[in-house]
Amino acid sequence: MQDEQLLRYARHILLDDLGIEGQDRLLASKVLIVGAGGLGSPVCLYLASAGVGYITIADADTVDLSNLQRQVMHTDDRVGQLKVESARQAMQQINPHVVVQTIPHRLNEQTLAQAMQSVDLVIDCCDNFSTRHAINRACVATQKPLISGAAIGYEGQVCVYDSRISISPCYHCLFPEVPSAPELNCATTGVFAPLVGIVGSLQAAEAIKMLAGVGDALLGRLVMFDVRHMRWHEVRVPRDPYCSVCGH
């Protein structure tokens, strides 16, 4: 680690259990982030500032004026720009040493699996069930840990899934795919602006912990948060042995 890096990451290096070894692991890590919106904003910014060395961001959307209420890495002067390019600009302004790759189109089952081949973990910051289930299937197929978050209205949730571990559920174990289920999204339901920052920050914290080898992950533990009443609730969820995605 060079002198400039020792100074940049000094506050991490001072931490028990993280230190230089953990920071070196972050610098060598590779992460795929799917979604560069409300959840993706704090995830991208914190992973870049923490020194995660190689970050790939996938999102097909462009920055819209209505995004700026909560998607804090985008700015008014970048309205109309691809979100992944706006994200790269924001991340490299914070830390120019991070390598940021962009995928400016929607990923399908095949391209998701390809994008996951070389990464250490995947962070789901998308806003729809079909994409979440596609990400989950690809993570199970490629044996990649998945940090999933969601936020709508005043409520959010975070969970970690890792099919390499026998007791870990997958996303489908908790939320079985129902094709006819109605989609809830921010455009029709609304979302409290700081909520996505809280949920995304929790996802970033879990990612940094896992990559650096610090603490315990939210493995099979669904944390739910009601920001309106400032209440947290945790539910432990086992793997479903009959799950059509990860069951054996």
The mean pLDDT value of the chain amounts to 94
- Report the pLDDT value the prediction gives residue 182, as an integer from 0 to 100: 63
What secondary structure does DSSP assign to 42-65, as a single string?
Answer: HHHHHHHHHT-SEEEEE---B--G
Question: What are the domain boundaries of the chain?
Answer: 3-236
Q: Copy the structure tokens of residue 238.
A: 């086992």
- Report the pLDDT value the prediction gives residue 52, as an integer from 0 to 100: 98
Angle of the 193-212 helix axis to the 40-50 helix axis, nearest 10: 40
pLDDT tops 70 at residue 230: yes
Place of tokens 């079985």: 176
- Mean pLDDT of the 19-23 span: 96
- Mean pLDDT of the 133-156 span: 95
Across the chain, how many H-helices and E-strands are there?
10, 8
Question: What are 72-126's pLDDT values in tens digits?
Answer: 999 999 999 999 999 999 999 999 999 999 999 988 888 998 999 999 999 999 9
Question: What are 23-71's pLDDT values in tens digits?
Answer: 999 999 999 999 999 999 999 999 999 999 999 999 999 999 999 999 9
Question: What are 150-174's pLDDT values in tens digits?
Answer: 999 999 999 999 999 988 999 999 9
Largest CA distance in the chain: 56
Contact 58, 116 (CB under 8 A): no
- Report the pLDDT value the prediction gives residue 181, as an integer from 0 to 100: 62
Contact 205, 18 (CB under 8 A): no
CATH of domain 3-236: 3.40.50.720
